[in-house]
Amino acid sequence: MTYKRKPVVAGSFYPGDSKRLHDDIEKYLGEAVDSDVDDAYGLIVPHAGYVYSGPVAAYSYSLIKKIQPEVVIVLAPSHRARFDGASIIPSGEYETPLGAVEIDETMGKTLESKNNFAFIPEVHEAEHSLEVQVPFLQHILGDFTLVPIIVGTHDLVKLNNIAETIKDAIINDTRKITIVISTDLSHYHSYKAAHAIDNVFIKAVESFDVKKVSSVCKKGTAEACGEGPVLLGMILSKMLGAHKIEILNYSTSGDTGGDKSQVVGYLSAAII
């Protein structure tokens, strides 16, 4: 039986109506300032409700417009399920109000068979952090295949092994492939405190030092709900040849949603 992952946050995190969804994404992309970056191994994007994080996500997705990948690997965190390793949907379809995206069976089945990978349906069924990336990709790319991976570990040794496995799959594939890394930053601090905490994370990310990013998150001086995906995306991009990270945009829900008493931080960045 073909696995069909149905949308679970359409109508709450983003519009359930396809025309309104199309219009909102077009608006966010139109307001994002274009960067000088023309290509990237990976992109860091936020994953909150579109009214809050959509304007920030659009900075990374404007770059996807230039890259025009044929395959997009999305690395996202798990908010509800606890597991070790990586859960991948190996084949089937991923649906949103904009239609169904084909899951890349070639890469999906290859990765599912490897150590540290498995398909755990319940990990994907209610997870918004991956779902909210798909409408942006559909709107911009139209025809592409998706590799949906939810990351359940922060362990650097395990993440290094997972990265090696994905790297091997990528270098044995002739298609244009881009990595999308889903994370939000600090949660529910004052506007001023959030900026200070998020600045620690951003400086660590800009250093392109995986151990530094891991360290600030472990110490609690920085916060990222997608710590695992960020670390994995950095390790993997380095293996593929990336040499630096460029920050494209940073804002909080206080900037986009209005209330500055308790905010969430959002980052867009390119790994190049």
pTM: 0.98
The superfamily CATH assigns to domain 35-257 is: LigB-like (3.40.830.10)
- Measured on CA atoms in the order 91, 40, 139, 141, is the torsion positive or negative? negative
- 271 bridge partner residues: 42, 245
- 231 bridge partner residues: none
Mean pLDDT per 10-residue interval, the chain, length 272 residues: 93 98 98 95 98 98 97 97 96 98 98 98 97 98 97 98 98 97 97 98 98 97 98 98 98 92 97 98
Q: In the block, which residue shows the tokens 């905010």?
A: 263
pLDDT in tens, 216-253: 999 999 999 999 999 999 999 999 999 999 999 999 99
pLDDT in tens, 70-100: 999 999 999 989 999 999 999 999 999 999 9
Burial 53-91 (b: 16+ CB within 10 A, else e): bbbbbbbbbbbbeebebebbbbbbbbeeeeeebbbbbbb
What is the amino acid identity at position 39? D
Please report, for residues 61, 137, 225, the alpha-carbon distance to residue 58 in angstroms, rounded to integers and kept in the order given: 5, 11, 20
Classify residue 93 as left (phi > 0), alpha (psi -120 to 50) or beta: beta
- 227 bridge partner residues: none
Six token digits for residue 218: 């472990």
